[in-house]
């Protein structure tokens, strides 16, 4: 039965997690993400799931890695300061190919920053926060409905590619209330289990491997050390390390077509394109619509998945657009990615708003008119 | 006992009416005096005393992050020591979450390394700043937003972490428990902690009108009830020697304490008995009848 709910973004995230099959949540209270934990603390037991409040965010990330290897789809939710504490374990999850979902409801930053105000300052931390080379997947919802949908999608991508996935939300989307529709049928990707214990290699050198769980008879050795196909440490072997780390990257990059998601509005033949993600998209699309009413050739490009970065799509846009305006709530993070890809074709501009307020449609409209020479 | 009139945590902060934490800090600073540096972990105290562009602190104050009050205090103390400023009190204030959960690692390091500092845990038994989530110091049976009572749950299902004894296990020269409702006892302990060379830990019980659910005029009363029922035991451990500091002749039944708070209102007799049994055992351990 299709269900309609009028709920908060953080609650929608919790509903999406339950729908996607999340049965284990470990977390630590932090504004503005706390309602995700509070909702799951109440609801998970009814799904025969488990909610554990950890002693800190280091523990939260550790526990969901353990929960995932224990055989449960696992998630945590946090905000910037907690996301910082999780970074060591995040790198571990990439290295050990542990499917987990980490929701970051971003607030004003750096440091303690603005706990109750909105920000998007963690985007590059999602990309490069842990040490070493890895390719993260991150989704950024711009509405309560998308917070639900993208949380489901995050679990699906995590299982499909056996990797950590971030939902990079923001305080506006987390605390806003909107109507959402929970469809009758939702595609859920179940965990791919190995077919037989015989000759099974959990870290085989090609592509994405099925994942055994503890307690099912498999010999499992999970480590953050450089490991061979069996999972055993082989840290002094250059070839083993090279093969492993390149595979971890290529299993994402080779499948970008399946992962990358964008929303283009009026981008064909647009001379000016406004790029955004998360809550600022709402203002961006509004500004684009007003500008189009004024006869300007403007389009909107939304990154549903800031990571992996949609390079091909941005390059394509840049072929027609003289100007690309990036709108984000930081001092330029995704902007430099756009500049890197588009600079030979388009002039890029940044509306980087910090302080805890969303960029308003009239601010974006003014920039559109300025770069358009009006 | 005449209290110093000087307020080093000035009024006008954003604490709730009847806030127990602010009473505790005021008393501690009256005991320590102006020659003191304060370090705060993330928590109610940090947020309510420093709303921009104001501060309640009449002494140098620093907040770094949630998990590292012990580490920051270690740094401050070391820097003062190498400059020969031995007469400055270094006091860190952490809530129960900031102390017994996220801050335990850095606090343990600070105690183990022997820094000459005072750490005061202001314990209101849950994460009040983010909206009443359970912590490792939340008592058995309390309803919080992450240990909610309901059809299948009576609330928090674990007893409180025995933090003062964890600190005592570090072999530091001074560990004490205290209550804001016994100001003379608390201030005496803070003074002792300042005089002792080396780390000192004081675990301060402080009722919270918002999180515990009682009328804001009853804060001191609730603190007294905690002690009078044996739910909170006042003692000190000085150089390894344990002493009770409040002579509890006749304990009140814990139902007097539970019944006065919304967080325990849902409890059935079974849970109340379990709590009474637990308190009896805790009291028996330290020789309280």
Q: Is the pLDDT of residue B127 over 80?
A: yes
Q: How confident is the model at residue B70 (pLDDT cuts 50, 70, 90)?
A: very high
- Alpha-carbon gap: A111 to the closest alpha carbon of chain B (Å): 8
Domain boundary among A147, A182, A217: A182
pLDDT at A359: 98
Coil, strand or helix at B177: strand
Give the pair of three-digit tokens for residue A90: 């995040």
Location of structure tokens 């009830």: B225
Interface touch A28/B102, C-beta < 8 Å: yes
Q: Does A38 touch chain B (CB under 8 A)?
A: yes
Query: What's the half-sphere exposure (Cβ side, CA atoms, 13 Å) at B240?
Result: 1
Comparing A1-5, A128-132, B129-133, B256-260, the range with the smallest average pLDDT is A1-5
Both A129 and A18 in one domain: the answer is: yes
Interface touch B67/A85, C-beta < 8 Å: yes
Determine what percent of chain B is predicted with pLDDT higher than 90: 94
Give the pair of three-digit tokens for residue B80: 């003062």
Q: Which pTM was predicted? A: 0.89
**What is the rounded average pLDDT of the residues A204-217?**
88
Both A134 and A13 in one domain: the answer is: yes
pLDDT at B2: 82
Q: Is residue A250 part of a domain?
A: no
> Residues A39-83: pLDDT tens digits?
999 999 999 999 999 999 999 999 999 999 999 999 999 999 999
Both A174 and A76 in one domain: the answer is: yes
Q: Does A34 touch chain B (CB under 8 A)?
A: yes
CATH of the domain at A35: 3.40.50.970
Both A169 and A284 in one domain: the answer is: no
- Distance (Å, whole) CA A348 – CA A93: 35
Q: Compute how many other C-beta atoms are within 10 angstroms of the C-beta atom of residue B241.
A: 7
pLDDT at A205: 86
**Residue B47: C-alpha distances to residues B16, B31, B43, B262 (Å):** 12, 23, 6, 25
- Distance (Å, whole) CA B226 – CA B83: 43
Sheet strands side by side (includes A323-328) = A262-265, A298-303, A272-276, A323-328, A347-352
Both A268 and A120 in one domain: the answer is: no
Query: What DSSP letter does each residue of A166-218 carry, written as one string?
Result: EEEEEHHHHH-EEEEEE-S----------S-STT--TT-SSS------TTSS-
Instruction: Using CB atoms, pick whichever of B101, B145, B146 lies closest to residue A55.
Output: B101
**Which of A259, A373, A370 lies closest to A306 in space, CA to CA?**
A259
| Terminal alpha carbon distance of chain A | 50
pLDDT at A325: 98
Interface touch B150/A42, C-beta < 8 Å: yes
Chain B residue with Cα closest to A51: B146
Both A63 and A165 in one domain: the answer is: yes
Q: Is residue A346 part of a domain?
A: yes
CA Rg, chain B, in Å?
Answer: 18
CA A46 from centre of chain: 27
Both A146 and A294 in one domain: the answer is: no
Instruction: Using CB atoms, pick whichever of B42, B148, B152 lies closest to residue A41.
Output: B148
Location of structure tokens 């400023």: B85
Residues of A in contact with B157 (CB under 8 A): none
Coil, strand or helix at A9: helix
Q: Is the pLDDT of residue B77 over 80?
A: yes
Q: Compute how many other C-beta atoms are within 10 angstroms of the C-beta atom of residue A60.
A: 28
Both A290 and A149 in one domain: the answer is: no
Domain boundary among A159, A182, A205: A182
pLDDT at A264: 97
**Which of B197, B176, B199 lies closest to B188 in space, CA to CA?**
B176
Both A277 and A152 in one domain: the answer is: no
**Residue A8: C-alpha distances to residues A14, A145, B56 (Å):** 10, 10, 35
> Residues A139-171: pLDDT tens digits?
999 999 999 999 999 999 999 999 999 999 999
> Residues B198-241: pLDDT tens digits?
999 999 999 999 999 999 999 999 999 999 999 999 999 999 99
Coil, strand or helix at B216: helix
Interface touch B102/A51, C-beta < 8 Å: no
Determine what percent of chain A is predicted with pLDDT higher than 70: 100
CA Rg, chain A, in Å?
Answer: 21
Q: Give the total residue count for chain B.
A: 289
> Residues A332-346: pLDDT tens digits?
999 999 999 999 999
Cis omega before residue A372 (within 30°)? no
Helices and strands: H and E segment counts in chain B: 10, 10
Q: Is residue A257 part of a domain?
A: no
**What is the rounded average pLDDT of the residues B21-42?**
97
Q: Is residue A330 part of a domain?
A: yes
Q: How confident is the model at residue A374 (pLDDT cuts 50, 70, 90)?
A: low
Residues of B in contact with A56 (CB under 8 A): 66-67, 101-102
pLDDT at A1: 79
Q: What angle do CA B116, B119, B125 make, to 5 degrees?
A: 165
Q: Please give the mean pLDDT across all residues of chain A.
A: 96
**What is the rounded average pLDDT of the residues A75-92?**
97
CATH of the domain at A308: 3.40.50.920
Both A149 and A280 in one domain: the answer is: no
Instruction: Using CB atoms, pick whichever of A30, A55, A112 lies closest to residue B130.
Output: A30
**Residue A205: C-alpha distances to residues A46, A93, B152, B245 (Å):** 40, 18, 47, 66
**What is the rounded average pLDDT of the residues A5-26?**
97
Provide the domain count of chain A: 2
Query: What DSSP letter does each residue of A123-169 carry, written as one string?
Result: HHHHHHSSSS----EEE--SSHHHHHHHHHHHHHHHHHHTS-EEEEE
Interface touch A42/B148, C-beta < 8 Å: yes
Q: Is residue A187 part of a domain?
A: no
Q: Is residue A190 part of a domain?
A: no
How many CB pairs (< 8 A) connect A and B? 49
Q: How confident is the model at residue A211 (pLDDT cuts 50, 70, 90)?
A: very high
Q: Is residue A210 part of a domain?
A: no
Both A159 and A271 in one domain: the answer is: no
Chain B residue with Cα closest to A26: B146
Domains detected in chain B: 20-285 (3.40.50.970)
Beta bridge partners of A74: A24
- Distance (Å, whole) CA A79 – CA A32: 7
- Alpha-carbon gap: B66 to the closest alpha carbon of chain A (Å): 9
Residue A336, domain extent = 263-372
Q: Is residue A215 part of a domain?
A: no
Domain boundary among A136, A154, A182: A182
Interface touch B130/A31, C-beta < 8 Å: yes
pLDDT at A200: 83
pLDDT at B52: 78
Both A21 and A156 in one domain: the answer is: yes
> Residues A234-269: pLDDT tens digits?
999 999 999 999 999 999 999 999 999 999 999 998
Choose the mutation target among B68, B70, B98, B102 for the interface with A, i.e. most A CBs under 10 Å.
B102
Location of structure tokens 């580490």: B71
**Residue B221: C-alpha distances to residues A51, B2, B246 (Å):** 35, 21, 16
């Amino acid at each position: 039965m299709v269900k309609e709910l009028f709920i908060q973004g953080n609650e929608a995230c919790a509903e999406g997690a339950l729908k996607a099959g999340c049965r284990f949540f470990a977390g630590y209270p932090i504004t503005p993400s706390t309602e995700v934990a509070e909702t799951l603390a109440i609801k998970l037991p009814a799904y025969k799931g488990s909610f554990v409040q950890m002693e800190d965010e280091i523990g939260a990330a550790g526990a969901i890695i353990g929960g995932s290897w224990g055989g449960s789809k696992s998630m945590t939710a946090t905000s910037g300061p907690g996301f910082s504490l999780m970074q060591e374990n995040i790198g571990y999850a990439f290295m050990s190919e542990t499917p987990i979902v980490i929701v970051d409801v971003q607030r004003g930053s750096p440091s303690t920053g603005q706990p109750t105000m909105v920000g998007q300052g963690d985007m590059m931390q999602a990309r490069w926060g842990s040490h070493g080379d890895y390719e993260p997947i991150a989704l950024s919802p711009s509405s309560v409905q998308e917070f639900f949908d993208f949380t489901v999608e995050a679990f699906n991508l995590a299982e499909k590619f056996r990797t950590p996935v971030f939902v990079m939300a923001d305080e506006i989307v987390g605390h806003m209330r909107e109507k959402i529709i929970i469809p009758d049928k939702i595609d859920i990707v179940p965990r791919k289990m190995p077919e037989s214990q015989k000759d099974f290699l959990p870290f085989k050198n090609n592509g994405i491997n099925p994942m055994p769980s503890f307690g099912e008879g498999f010999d499992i050795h999970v480590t953050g050390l450089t490991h061979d196909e069996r999972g055993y440490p082989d840290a002094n072997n250059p070839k083993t390390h090279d093969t492993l780390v390149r595979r971890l990257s290529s299993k994402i990059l080779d499948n970008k077509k399946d992962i990358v998601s964008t929303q283009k509005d009026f981008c064909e033949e647009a001379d000016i394109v406004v790029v955004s993600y998360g809550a600022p998209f709402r203002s961006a699309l509004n500004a684009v619509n007003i500008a189009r009413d004024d006869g300007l050739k403007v389009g909107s490009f939304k990154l549903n998945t800031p990571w992996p970065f949609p390079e091909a799509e941005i390059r394509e846009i840049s072929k027609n657009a003289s100007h690309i305006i990036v709108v984000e709530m930081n001092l330029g993070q995704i902007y430099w990615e756009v500049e890197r890809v588009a600079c030979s074709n388009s002039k890029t501009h940044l509306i980087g708003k910090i302080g805890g307020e969303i960029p308003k449609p009239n601010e974006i409209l003014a920039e559109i008119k300025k770069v358009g020479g009006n | 006992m005449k209290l110093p009139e000087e307020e080093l945590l000035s009024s006008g902060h954003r604490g709730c009416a009847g806030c127990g934490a602010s009473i505790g800090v005021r008393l501690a600073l009256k005991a320590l005096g102006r020659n003191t540096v304060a370090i705060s972990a993330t928590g109610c105290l940090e947020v309510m005393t420093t709303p921009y562009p104001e501060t309640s602190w009449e002494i140098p104050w620093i907040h770094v992050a949630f998990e590292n009050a012990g580490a920051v205090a270690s740094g401050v103390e070391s820097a003062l020591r190498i400059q020969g400023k031995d007469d400055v009190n270094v006091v860190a204030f952490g809530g129960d979450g900031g102390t017994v959960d996220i801050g335990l690692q850095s606090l343990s390091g600070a105690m183990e390394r022997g820094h000459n500092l005072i750490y005061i845990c202001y314990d209101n038994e849950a994460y009040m700043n983010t909206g009443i989530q359970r912590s490792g110091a939340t008592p058995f049976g309390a309803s919080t937003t992450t240990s909610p009572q309901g059809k299948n749950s009576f609330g928090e299902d674990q007893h409180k972490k025995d933090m003062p004894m964890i600190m005592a296990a570090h072999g530091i020269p001074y560990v004490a428990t205290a209550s804001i409702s016994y100001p003379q006892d608390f201030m005496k302990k803070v003074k002792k902690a300042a005089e002792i060379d080396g780390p000192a830990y004081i675990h301060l019980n402080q009722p919270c009108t918002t999180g515990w659910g009682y009328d804001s005029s009853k804060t001191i009363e609730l603190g007294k009830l905690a002690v009078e029922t044996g739910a909170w035991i006042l003692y000190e451990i000085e150089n390894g020697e344990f002493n009770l500091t409040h002579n509890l002749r006749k304990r009140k039944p814990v139902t007097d304490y539970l019944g006065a708070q919304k967080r325990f209102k849902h409890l059935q007799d079974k849970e109340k008995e379990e709590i009474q049994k637990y308190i009896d055992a805790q009291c028996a351990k330290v020789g309280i009848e």
